[in-house]
A and B are shown apart, each in its own frame.
Chain A
Amino acid sequence: MAEHIVPRKTYFAVFAALLVFTALTVIAANINFGKMNDVIAMTIAVTKMMLVLLFFMHVRYSSRLIWVIVASMFFWLLILLLLTSTDYSSRDWFGSHVGSVVGRQ
């Protein structure tokens, strides 16, 4: 696999973007968006994660095999979230006396 040379400029740009997003995280944490709190926080976090993954970890320039591996990681994360949510989403189906009230935050 040939090494892809990434211009230094790209790294600095990504680094700057990450700093901006970190500042955004702090600002967003201090404002109450109501139901959108989680959505906004997760959007910022996922964007930062993608920047690191694609540029710092060179996935953008890597072979298809690496893409498959990365995709499988996301698939596994999906399993974790999906099967856990089968629990949280259906705890109330039997009525409130069964299951935990904690899940319904």
Chain B
Amino acid sequence: MSTNTTAAAGREWRSRFPTVNYLNADYGIKSWLLTKDHKRIAILYLISVTFFFAIGGAYAAAIRLELLTPMGDLMQSATYNKVFTHHGIMMVFFFLIPAIPGVLGNFLIPLMIGAKDMAFPKINLLSWYVFMAGGLLTFSALLFGGVDTGWTFYVPYSTNFSNTYVTLAGLGIFINGFSSILTGLNFIVTTHTMRAPGMTWFRLPLFVWSQYATALIMILGTPVIAITVLLLALERLAHVGIFDPALGGDPVLFQHMFWFYSHPAVYIMILPSMAVISELVATHTRKPVFGYSFVAFSSLAIAVFGFLVWGHHLFVSSQSVYAGMIFSLISFVVAIPSAVKVFNWTATMYKGSISYDTPMLYVFAFIGLFMIGGMTGMFLAALGFDIHVHDTYFVVAHFHYVMVGGTVMGYMGGLHNWWPKMTGRMYPEGWARFAALIIFVGFNLTFFPQFLLGYMGMPRRYHAYPAGEPMWQVLHVMSTGGATVLGIGLLIPAVYFIWSMRYGRFAPANPWPGTGLEWRTASPPPTENFLVTPVVTWEAYEYRPIEEMQVIGPGAPDQTVGGQHPANRGVETEER
């Protein structure tokens, strides 16, 4: 839709509606800290995960600076150990895992299913407080002196040798786990019990399906990491002998228990991103998602299979070769549902009316980068190849392609797509496209050289590397340069998002336009989401070509929500 049309529609909408929405319904810090509104809690999450992301990013910058030269010029190896540990802990536990469920999931799930709020609004707020408690506790451990075990806390180093704040950081992660469980519980119960009349399971947006699958993993997996961290603390403080061979324990048992959660946790990070991509690809190609039920069930399949593959992290940890074969095989199997999604998104684009708005740019980035991340995952699932590249930069590059190329791209795409809904303002499209491009280029420049480095044998978690390998430094310089570009690329959205909250154009209720229920209420939505409970009489993603919209106009809002022939249904259908 052209800029002028959107602006005009935005002005028209604002004049027609009451100006009270969830953002200005109440004022003051108390109204935010004691809110039970899922939309406000989402904003709280947005602020907190951005804070933790910035901290994690600062540590990443320190890592890249150190690796600019072969010698350990900037910091000693002990400091470097802490820096990469802090980077990992902050990014994994306090950004990647909570970001999309906490921000977009909390904001959108009730809106998408036509509910007034989550099933347990107080528990929802509690989950944010628990998250903050865990996050700040871990952050304090980093400030007091830090942790140097790596984010994986492998024993026996973490139990018997490390002289850093392992227990405090572990306690923070333990507490943070409860936040995940509470969020997951809320998502599941909300999806089961709060759907609007007519919103059957197979009319749910695929976003909700994926978030549901994520919530299952959160509930089933998180208790295991909580207990594992607890056992680690007990072992460290009281030497109970679970992981220490001298006391009859087994260090590999820690790896089994740790990865039983932490591998599915990868899917906690990527599934919500896939949730976003499913929505964006349909909205910005004006087509229903190809093979809806396949995409829906592939989310559940990923959630289930994700639990069966953890042993591929233990290929060289003295795990039995036979167990390794089983885990290798199942790891290949988990690629199938992921591939189903990628193929179906691509098929959705076929003959679609593809827009090049910012959210769609992030979809392109996601599909390409996730493909590379996923396929190199197949390399690593192969027993022989894994032994060659285990603990090298190849692995680092692989999971950054999945985590940053997957999760962060989805998160950014989702933020842009729903920013008008969240704030009632449009972001500047030109700047946003520019930033998306910068991020894409910066990302690839950072992480692609790391594949080559890893293949050549550069180990991860080392602060120095041989100067006699001239190619290594060239690649490291490229990577550091790329990280700088990526950092700038991520700062641009931070600036224009804040700018847009005050100076951005007013957003219409449905700027793209989308067919989901969240677009059938005002931007930003009122506190109760919908003034009239919507009745859903249409299937998910009933899109029509954008040209048709431009010829016949956005149409008058429905007098009743739903109940009309799809062709007559306008963009905005909320009765006010």
Contact = CB atoms under 8 A, between A and B. Distances in A.
Interface of A: 72-73, 76, 79-80, 83-84, 86-91, 93-94, 98-100, 102-103, 105
A87 B318 CA distance: 9
B252 interface: yes
Contacts of A103: 250, 252
Contacts, number: 59
Given A73-B220, A76-B220, A90 B323 contact: yes
B307 A87 contact: no
A100 B252 CA distance: 9
B240 interface: no
Given A80-B224, A84-B256, A90 B250 contact: no
Contacts of A72: 220
Interface string B321-346: 11100110000000000000000000
Nearest to A85: B323
B307 A79 contact: yes
B355 interface: no
B308 A90 contact: no
A105 B246 CA distance: 11
Nearest to B321: A94
A83 B311 contact: yes
A39 to B, nearest CB: 17
Contacts of B162: none
Contacts of A86: 311, 320, 322-323, 326
Contacts of A94: 321
Contacts of B260: 80, 84
A73 B256 CA distance: 18
A87 B220 contact: no
Contact of B250 (A79, A89, A102): A102
Contact of B308 (A73, A79, A89, A99): A79
A48 to B, nearest CB: 17
Contacts of B553: none
B226 to A, nearest CB: 14
Q: Lowest 10 A-B CB distances belong to which pairs? A: A87-B323, A90-B322, A90-B320, A86-B323, A91-B320, A100-B318, A102-B250, A84-B256, A87-B320, A102-B245
B318 A99 contact: yes
A80 B307 CA distance: 8
B308 A87 contact: no
Nearest to B310: A83
A79 B253 CA distance: 15
A15 to B, nearest CB: 24
Chief secondary structure at chain B's binding surface: helix
A21 to B, nearest CB: 21
Contacts of A90: 320-323
A25 to B, nearest CB: 16
18 contacts: A76-B220, A79-B308, A80-B224, A80-B256, A83-B308, A83-B311, A83-B327, A84-B253, A86-B320, A86-B322, A90-B320, A93-B322, A99-B318, A99-B321, A102-B249, A102-B251, A102-B252, A105-B250
Contacts of B256: 80, 84, 87
B384 interface: no
Contact of B319 (A73, A87, A105): A87
Nearest to B326: A86
B248 interface: yes
Contacts of B311: 83, 86-87
Nearest to A73: B220
A55 to B, nearest CB: 21
A6 B310 CA distance: 42
A87 B253 CA distance: 10
B396 interface: no
Contact of B321 (A84, A98, A105): A98
Interface in B42-73: none
Interface in B179-235: 220, 224
Nearest to A86: B323
A73 B319 CA distance: 26
Contacts of A73: 220
B314 interface: yes
A65 B247 CA distance: 43
Given A86-B323, A87-B320, A93-B320, 7 more contacts: A76-B307, A86-B326, A87-B256, A87-B311, A87-B314, A87-B319, A102-B245
A59 to B, nearest CB: 16
Contacts of B318: 91, 99-100
A105 B320 contact: no
Contacts of A84: 253, 256, 260
Contacts of B224: 80
A105 B245 CA distance: 9
A86 B323 CA distance: 5
A41 to B, nearest CB: 14
